Amino acid sequence: MKKYIHDFQIIANRRINTEYFVLSLANEKKLPEIKPGQFVQVRVDNAPNTFLRRPISVYDVNYEKNILYLLIQVVGEGTRTLSELKNGEKLNLIYPLGNSFSLPDSEKALLIGGGVGVAPLMFLGRWLTEQKKEPVFLLGFRNSELQVDIDRFRKLGEVYISTDDGGAGEKGLVTQHPVLHNDTLDISMVYACGPDVMMKAVALWAEKKNISCEASLENTMACGFGACLCCAQETVQGILLVCTDGPVFNTKELIWQI
Amino acid sequence: MADLRVCIGDLHFKNPVTAASGCFGYGKEYEDFIDLGKLGAVFVKGTTGSNRKGNPYPRMVETSSGMLNSVGFQNKGIDYFISDIYPGIKQYNTHIIVNVSGSTIEEYVMVAEKLNDLEKIPAIELNISCPNVKEGGMVFGTHCPSAIKVTTAVRKAYHKTLIVKLSPNVTSIYEFARAVEGAGADAVSLINTLLGMAIDAEKQKPVLATVTGGLSGPAIKPVALRMVWEVYNAVKIPVIGIGGIMNATDAIEFMLAGATAVQIGTANFINPRVTVEVIKGIEDYLVEKDITDVKDIIGALKIPG
Ligand SMILES: Cc1cc2nc3c(=O)[nH]c(=O)nc-3n(C[C@H](O)[C@H](O)[C@H](O)COP(=O)(O)OP(=O)(O)OC[C@H]3O[C@@H](n4cnc5c(N)ncnc54)[C@H](O)[C@@H]3O)c2cc1C
Ligand SMILES: Cc1cc2nc3c(=O)[nH]c(=O)nc-3n(C[C@H](O)[C@H](O)[C@H](O)COP(=O)(O)O)c2cc1C
Ligand code: FES
């Protein structure tokens, strides 16, 4: 897929809670096709200690209005600087980058996200509904305050929640959620995005259940388009690049480094 | 319009701006962003005698105004390059220069010999300065007699333009420049990355899997400029300046310090169009200063007194 470098304009910066915000980005040029699971490389201006671009998943795309959405968690200087962007300001992106999630055989698919790992699942869920599939979301957050856009996820499919403190949904880790332990869930595919420990736990669960599992990895990146070889991932096929061969991998392929 | 052409040995570059090895893949990673035919040359990835897996992850950490990497020579080896990569890149309308890496003199010689026959590869860059491999690599670049030995051996085996890439991890880089000039190098390029390290205080652990790595980006530019200037004053062969170039002004500074051409590395990750922007910027500078030939700024640094 052809990659572009474009200046986008911020048309909204929506604060969701103390940690998360969503940027709505518009571009005069028509958006190219973007696939669920793909990411963008954001240039962070006016942040003296943020030298490299920051990889951020595509949270959603509205082709009609030509708008790209990014869900971002503030973790350091780069993301904090992005959180302070105002309407009308410019944001330079390289996109669309990476591979994408694949279509499940079954009607239903389970989409498991932890924290900011829910980001690629909105766009994936929308795409699945367009493909006449039924996404079922299982979303995990540290507490109820940190939940993200649950209403919007609900518009796409069933939503189950886990929080560490039990403030919303079930208490505990996503992998402890009862929905994973009732056998009525008829799925052939689970998608996972979140902390490595979570994805690994989901992969193990999927393996036991004989369900295919795709995980989206977040190895640190310098370029994001295959030029630096910094984002290496050990796989059964040898070293692959998370930015071009991934970020989505079938977990059977992965040799986990945790 | 100013004349941007420069020569590295017998080799003519359409302009002094090139892409640095290890930062530009095989060129094709940048095809969506720029017309590669506009560049003076492309230095492709470090190529070794056989398949190398590279170092374990994490291989990269951002630092103040730069980054540390410990990629190592991840590549599929020279035979794969010849059979699978070369056919796809030989039509580029720019010089493709292969960065030759290895652990032993025999390996360097073997790779160089095989590159003799590739019509569209007019030069090699002998990488005796990689800090990211256990044996070889930097050892040749930080021990003068070894640098002479490997350069002499490759010079015998390789018939086209031979550029030797120097390590900054030495006390007197100009001694190495003189030594490889004496051993038959047609040009030197410098600097490779500076050996550095990063620590995670919270975990009390090194950030990189290899503990140490190579520092690149604007953080190393002052060191690189000084070294280019020292080497320019010590040798007669052309010098290719590398280290932290982010824009045309940086590139011009290297040329004033004595570089005939420059390589741009890390900056490409942030701005994949930086190389062509630098060409344009150099042109604008020359026009503004009423200079008709870019060669007139090479080593044109005016030192008062
Ligand atoms: C393919 C991909 C997709 C991503 N998608 C999103 C997304 O949709 N939304 C989002 O908010 N974040 C996403 N991330 C993570 C995001 O890139 C980092 O959080 C961001 O780079 C941090 O930048 P910073 O300057 O704010 O923090 P820094 O100052 O660089 O780091 C602050 C802290 O965050 C941690 N951190 C830095 N980079 C990463 C990383 N790549 N992964 C995990 N932890 C990291 C560091 O260990 C450090 O402790 C994605 C990462 C990748 C590789
Ligand atoms: C990710 C990465 C990989 C590199 N790989 C090589 C290599 O294979 N061979 C080599 O001679 N230099 C390699 N280098 C060094 C660069 O070519 C260059 O000398 C150095 O990065 C300084 O220039 P810069 O500051 O413009 O990046 C690499 C640098 C980086 C950042
Ligand atoms: S981030 Fe540069 S190759 Fe993946």
DSSP annotation of B64: T
- The label of the residue with tokens 């897929």 reads A1
Q: Which two tokens stand for residue B124?
A: 């090699």
Q: Let me know: does A141 contact A194? Beta carbons within 8 Å.
A: no
Domains of chain B (ranges; CATH) run 6-54+73-195+217-297 (3.20.20.70)
A12 at B interface, C-beta within 8 A: no
* CA pair distance B264, B278, nearest whole angstrom: 9
List C-alpha distances in Å: A127 to A164, A202, B167, B171. Answer: 29, 22, 51, 59
Residue A249 lies in a domain: yes
| Ligand 1 atom 52: residue of nearest CA | A218
Residue A102 lies in a domain: no
SS3 of chain B: helix, strand, coil, percent, to 5? 35, 25, 45
Q: Please write the tens of the pLDDT for every residue from A212-239.
A: 999 999 999 999 999 999 999 999 999 9
> What's the B20 CA to ligand 2 centre distance in angstroms?
6
Query: Residues A152, A53: one domain?
Result: no
Query: Residues A31, A68: one domain?
Result: yes
Query: Residues A207, A113: one domain?
Result: yes
Query: Residues A21, A44: one domain?
Result: yes
Query: Residues A171, A230: one domain?
Result: no
Asked whether residue A29 carries a pLDDT value surpassing 70, the answer given is yes
A221 at B interface, C-beta within 8 A: yes
Residue A73 lies in a domain: yes
Query: Residues A81, A16: one domain?
Result: yes
pLDDT at B139: 76
Report how many domains make up chain A: 3
Residue numbers of chain B with a pLDDT score lower than 50: none
The verdict on a CB contact (< 8 Å) between A230 and B64 is no
pLDDT at A28: 87
Query: Residues A120, A49: one domain?
Result: no
Query: Residues A39, A117: one domain?
Result: no
pLDDT at B135: 56
- The nearest CA of chain A is from the CA of B26 a distance in Å of 8
Query: Residues A191, A221: one domain?
Result: no
The verdict on a CB contact (< 8 Å) between A228 and B62 is no
- In this complex, which of A49, A222, A230 lies closest to B64 when CB atoms are compared? A49
Read off the CATH number of the domain in which A248 is found: 2.10.240.10
Query: Residues A91, A116: one domain?
Result: no
Does the active-site annotation cover B7? no
pLDDT at B18: 98
Asked whether residue A252 carries a pLDDT value surpassing 80, the answer given is yes
Cβ atoms within 10 A of the Cβ of B133, count?
Answer: 22
Q: Which ligand is nearest to the CA of A55?
A: 1
User: Please, which residues have CB within 8 angstroms of residue A15's CB and are 6 or more apart in sequence?
Assistant: A21, A83
pLDDT at A257: 56
> What's the B297 CA to ligand 3 centre distance in angstroms?
35
* CA pair distance B167, B126, nearest whole angstrom: 11
pLDDT at B286: 98
Q: What angle do CA B289, B293, B295 make, to 5 degrees?
A: 110
pLDDT at A132: 95
What average pLDDT is seen over chain A? 95
Query: Residues A162, A133: one domain?
Result: yes
pLDDT at B129: 78
Read off the CATH number of the domain in which A88 is found: 2.40.30.10
Asked whether residue A61 carries a pLDDT value surpassing 60, the answer given is yes
A47 at B interface, C-beta within 8 A: no
SS3 of chain A: helix, strand, coil, percent, to 5? 20, 35, 40
Q: Please write the tens of the pLDDT for every residue from B101-156.
A: 988 999 999 999 999 999 999 999 999 976 655 555 567 888 999 999 999 999 99
Query: Residues A122, A207: one domain?
Result: yes
pLDDT at B305: 81
A217 at B interface, C-beta within 8 A: no
DSSP H helices, chain B, are: 78-80, 86-89, 105-116, 138-142, 144-157, 173-182, 221-232, 248-256, 267-270, 274-288
Range of A133's domain? 108-215
Asked whether residue A186 carries a pLDDT value surpassing 80, the answer given is yes
Residue of B31, B34, B51, B59 to mutate, testing the A interface (most A Cβ within 10 Å of its Cβ): B59
Read off the CATH number of the domain in which A198 is found: 3.40.50.80
